[in-house]
Every structure is written in structure tokens, then in C-alpha cells.
């Protein structure tokens, strides 16, 4: 399956990353990527995307919100 | 999954006690999960809506604890409630649909090869060197806000909260294959969007 194109490789990527593909398909996909600079570049950025999004949306619980929740719990207990 | 020191009661034990009216047990559950639910709520909605989603989530948890049967882990059940609360807030807020990200999906030439040069296709992996971190973070949040609910929920749970695919499927009530498909689509849309933001549009 040396004829694997970038587009068909991309369709398999998520299943590949979760270890769901049969060995011959894995071999064909890895063979294509090994010889394709575009796929190597694309996959590097595909991997980077969740990390960037995770870092951008990481948030600590503000003290004000924590206090508000504690107040709500107190009222809940009193009812 | 929450790692609980052996001296502390499990989530399920606390849930059982709270359902029986033990306020202290419920408060322990809240303290244990409040930071994670707040972060999840922000990712599903916005920083503005996160406090309301947080409180709504624990209100729903308190109301429905007696119906928690332990068919799934307590944390999965709680995340399901939080995800639904987030969705309700998003729907209540949405006055107009967000501009779709479809234009940022990858493109291919007639031979099925990626359009663009390797340098252009790579820029997202070099984001830290190419763009100010704060600017990138702001743009990343804008991109997440533009994801359709269908993809956003799966992406947030799988890639941002780093839950296993099977647990995401349980939270969302869909098949693992559907989770993988939605997460993949979200990654592609956001990857293309970030490439455009960073300046590597092909």
C-alpha cells in the first residue's frame, strides 16, 4: 500500500493513534508518512493543537467563585 | 478518575451518604470536584458562564443523587451532568450561530497530497516561537468558541480534560467510534484555524 495518499492517511490517523488499525494498514500508513514531509509536518501540528488549546483554557478556581459556592452550600444546609 | 487516598471515602461512598442526607458528604464531593468542574465549565462555555455552570452542576448533582445507581463511575455521572449544564448555558446564550470553521479543514490536490508546503503545514507545532503566548491563548479560546457543540463537547472531554475515549462515550451517550470521529474533526478544524492565525495559511 505504498500508494497511500495524504488524504487517505488522514482518514486513518485517529484510529492509528488509538491503536485500532490492523498491522498491514499501520505499515502502509507509517511507510507513507516516513517518505512524506507534508504528512510529517501536518501530523506535528495535529499533535500540537490539543496542547495549545489545553494550555489556553487551563483555569484555576477563583477564590470569589469558591466563596460563592461555599455560601450556596451553607444556604443549602440551612434549608 | 479521581485518585483518593485510602483513608478517604470513595466518591461512591460519599454519594451514597449524601443521597441519604449527609450534608458533610455532599460538601466533600463539592470540594473534591469544584476545581475540575469549574475548568470543564469554562472550556464548554466561557469564563463568564463557568461560575453559573459550576453551581448548576452541583445543584443538579444534589437533586439527582438519590437516582445515582452506580451503573457508571460517579465521576462519569458528574461529568455528564456538567456537560449537559454547559450545553444548556451555551444554547441560552447563543443569539446567532458562531462563524463556522469549515474553511480551515485541510485541502488536497488532485493526487490527494496536502496543499501547502511542509513549512506552512508545520507552523502550529512551532507556535511558541512564532507568536506571543497571550495572543495565541486568546485566539485559541476564540477558536474553541466557534466549534459546533457536537465537536466541542467531545474535544473538550477527550483532549482538554484528557479522558479516555470510552469514558467520553459514556458521558456523551454515544459510541466510541463517534467520539473519535468528532474529536478528529475538532482537531482538524482547530489545527487549520491556528495555522491561519499563526500565519501559515496554504
Against a cut of 0.90, is the pTM above it? Answer: yes
* Distance, CA of B40 to CA of B37 (rounded, Å): 5
pLDDT at A17: 94
pLDDT at A2: 44
* Distance, CA of B190 to CA of B178 (rounded, Å): 18
CA nearest to A36, candidates B48, B113, B6, B156: B113
Question: Does residue B58 sit at the A interface (CB-CB below 8 Å)?
Answer: yes
Tell me: the pLDDT tens digits for B113-150? 999 999 999 999 999 999 999 999 999 999 999 999 99
Put simply, the answer to whether B51 touches A68 (Cβ < 8 Å) is yes
Chain A residues within an 8 Å CB radius of B155: 50, 53
Measured CA to CA in angstroms, residue B109 lies from A35, B3, B74, B101, B117 at distances of 18, 49, 48, 20, 12
Residue with cell 505504498: A2
Contact criterion met (CB below 8 Å) for B37 and B57: yes
Contact criterion met (CB below 8 Å) for B113 and B120: no
> Predicted ipTM?
0.92
Annotate A13-46 with three-state secondary structure. HHHHHCCCCCHHHHHHHHHHHHCCHHHHHHHHHH
Contact criterion met (CB below 8 Å) for B197 and B190: no
* Distance, CA of A14 to CA of A19 (rounded, Å): 9
**β-sheet bridge partners, residue B108:** B114
Mutate to test the interface with B, among A2, A4, A56, A77 (most CBs of B within 10 A): A56
Put simply, the answer to whether A46 touches B187 (Cβ < 8 Å) is yes
Name the minimum distance, in Å, from the CA of B70 to any CA of chain A.
24
* Distance, CA of B60 to CA of B72 (rounded, Å): 17
Please count the residue pairs, one from chain A and one from chain B, whose beta carbons lie less than 8 angstroms apart: 133
Nearest CA in chain A to B131: A52
- Going from N- to C-terminal start, the domains of chain B cover 11-93, 102-198
Chain A residues within an 8 Å CB radius of B27: 73
pLDDT in tens, chain A (79 residues): 346 799 999 999 999 999 999 999 999 999 999 999 999 999 999 999 999 999 999 999 999 999 999 999 999 888 7
CATH assignment, B102-198: 1.10.10.10
Chain B residues within an 8 Å CB radius of A65: 38, 50-51, 54
Tell me which residues of chain B have a pLDDT lower than 70: 1-6, 95-97, 200-202
Mutate to test the interface with A, among B65, B101, B112, B198 (most CBs of A within 10 A): B112
Helix H segments across chain B? 11-19, 23-44, 50-64, 74-93, 118-122, 127-130, 133-145, 149-155, 165-172, 176-198
* Distance, CA of A23 to CA of B137 (rounded, Å): 38
CATH assignment, B11-93: 1.10.1740.10
Amino acid at each position: 500500500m505504498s500508494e497511500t495518499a495524504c488524504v487517505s492517511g488522514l482518514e486513518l490517523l485517529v484510529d492509528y493513534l488509538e491503536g485500532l488499525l490492523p498491522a498491514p494498514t499501520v505499515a502502509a500508513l507509517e511507510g507513507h508518512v516516513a517518505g512524506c514531509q507534508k504528512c510529517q509536518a501536518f501530523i506535528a501540528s495535529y499533535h500540537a493543537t490539543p496542547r495549545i488549546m489545553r494550555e489556553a483554557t487551563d483555569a484555576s478556581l477563583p477564590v470569589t467563585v469558591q466563596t460563592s459556592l461555599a455560601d450556596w452550600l451553607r444556604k443549602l444546609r440551612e434549608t | 478518575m479521581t485518585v483518593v487516598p485510602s483513608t478517604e471515602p470513595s466518591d461512591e461512598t460519599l454519594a451514597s451518604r449524601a443521597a441519604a442526607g449527609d450534608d458533610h458528604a455532599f460538601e466533600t464531593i463539592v470540594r473534591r470536584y469544584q476545581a475540575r468542574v469549574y475548568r470543564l465549565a469554562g472550556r464548554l462555555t466561557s469564563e463568564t458562564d463557568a461560575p453559573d455552570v459550576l453551581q448548576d452542576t452541583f445543584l443538579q448533582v444534589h437533586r439527582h443523587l438519590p437516582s445515582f445507581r452506580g451503573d457508571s463511575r460517579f465521576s462519569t455521572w458528574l461529568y455528564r451532568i456538567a456537560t449537559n449544564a454547559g450545553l444548556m448555558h451555551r444554547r441560552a446564550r447563543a443569539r446567532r450561530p458562531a462563524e463556522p470553521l469549515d474553511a480551515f479543514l485541510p485541502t488536497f490536490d488532485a493526487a490527494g497530497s496536502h496543499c501547502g508546503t511542509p513549512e506552512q503545514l508545520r507552523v502550529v507545532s512551532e507556535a511558541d516561537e512564532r507568536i506571543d503566548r497571550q495572543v495565541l491563548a486568546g485566539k485559541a479560546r476564540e477558536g474553541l468558541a466557534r466549534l459546533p457543540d457536537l465537536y466541542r463537547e467531545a474535544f473538550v472531554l477527550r483532549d482538554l480534560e484528557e479522558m479516555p475515549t470510552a469514558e467520553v462515550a459514556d458521558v456523551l451517550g454515544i459510541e466510541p467510534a463517534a467520539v473519535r470521529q468528532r474529536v478528529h474533526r475538532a482537531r482538524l478544524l482547530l489545527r487549520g484555524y491556528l495555522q491561519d492565525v499563526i500565519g501559515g495559511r496554504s
